[in-house]
Amino acid sequence: MRALRFDGSGVQIEDVAEPRPCDETVIVRVRLAGICNTDLEIVRGYMGFHGTLGHEFVGVVEDGPEELLDQRVVGEINFACQSCPICAQGLQRHCQRRRVMGILGADGAFADLVRIPAANLHPVPDGVTDEQAVFTEPLAAAFEILEQVHIEPGRDCVVLGDGKLGLLIAQVLHHAGARVVCVGRHPEKLALLAKRDIDTVLLDDWRGDRVSLVVEATGSAEGFDRAVAALRPRGTLVLKTTVSERPRLDLSPLVIDEIQVVGSRCGPFPPALRALETGAVDVDSMITERMHLSEGIDALRRADSKGALKVLLETS
């Protein structure tokens, strides 16, 4: 089969052996996959990953238990051991022996086929298109904030970053009743939120008024300092950015202003799928381009280009 792989120095399309189900895993034939900022950071050296890239996908179960065959599914990306004390606490996403699809020790979904634990699969509702279903994983990451931070109606929030994840987070917080301002650099991206009555401001025009909650989703190393400066004393900072660069941080303001810092990564799939099914979150407007897996190298460049949002890879 075909796969878009990274060997530590470059990306190439390769012919590789098809995976086979084993140890309670199934084989999913990928229909669409999405390129995210983490994929771009991996090819810059983040996590030291070598193998098939990609973790956002929708596909159909091709090989596995009979009750799962032919189901259209999306899948959680953390492959837990299911036997350690962390897993016993229900924290499989943090299993110390976990592998992570296309990120850590497990091949990803930029391929014709991907192997994934059956326990990680979620059926896609009939009313959700393939294009929308691809957004389940990053949208779940946005919903994770609601699991970690109490969002009372009217809570003042700033989302820093108007990339793919920032746009999803702003919509989720807005739908939860928060008073959201999204700060970004791209008028055309911020306009997608303005259509849903979410306040936006260009970074150059932002006054930096201090609020009780800031979500840092800039995808850049310099976003941390700006996020801290925008918080009121005893505010909450949610960190979403992961980058290969290791910036120097001044942690003194966190101590002085007693800031609570929340690391936030993957999240729950069921509320993400419900939001897609009901239209509570708009993802269709975020699709920049569809390209074929055979164009995967060019697709990565397109996803990393100025103004791009979600670039999708199709396999058929």
Regarding whether 144 and 106 lie in a shared domain, the answer is no
pTM of the model: 0.94
Regarding whether 11 and 75 lie in a shared domain, the answer is yes
How far is 80 from 95, CA to CA, in rounded Å?
Answer: 6
With respect to residue 277, please indicate whether it lies within any of the assigned structural domains: no
**Closest alpha carbon to 270 in 125, 126, 159, 152:** 125
CATH number at residue 49: 3.90.180.10
Describe the chain by its helix, strand, coil percentages, rounded to 5: 30, 30, 40
Backbone phi and psi for residue 152, each to the nearest 5 degrees, phi listed first: -80, 155
Sole residue written with tokens 């979500």: 215
With a CB cutoff of 8 Å and minimum separation 6, the contacts of 147 are: 267, 268
Regarding whether 156 and 57 lie in a shared domain, the answer is no
pLDDT of residue 97: 94
Regarding whether 127 and 189 lie in a shared domain, the answer is no
pLDDT of residue 250: 86
Q: How much is the average pLDDT of 151-172?
A: 97
With respect to residue 90, please indicate whether it lies within any of the assigned structural domains: yes
Structural domain count, the chain: 2
Residue ranges making up the domain that contains 209: 139-263
- Residue 244's pLDDT band (boundaries 50, 70, 90)? low
Which stretches within 123-177 are classed as H helix?
130-133, 136-148, 164-175
Regarding whether 118 and 44 lie in a shared domain, the answer is yes
44-103 pLDDT per residue, tens: 998 999 999 999 999 999 999 999 999 999 999 999 999 999 999 999 999 999 999 999
Regarding whether 160 and 187 lie in a shared domain, the answer is yes
- Residue 151's pLDDT band (boundaries 50, 70, 90)? very high
pLDDT at residue 242 greater than cutoff 90: no
With respect to residue 257, please indicate whether it lies within any of the assigned structural domains: yes
250-272 pLDDT per residue, tens: 899 999 999 999 999 999 999 99
Look at 22-26, 61-65, 96-100, 217-221 and tell me which has the smallest mean pLDDT: 217-221
pLDDT of residue 22: 86
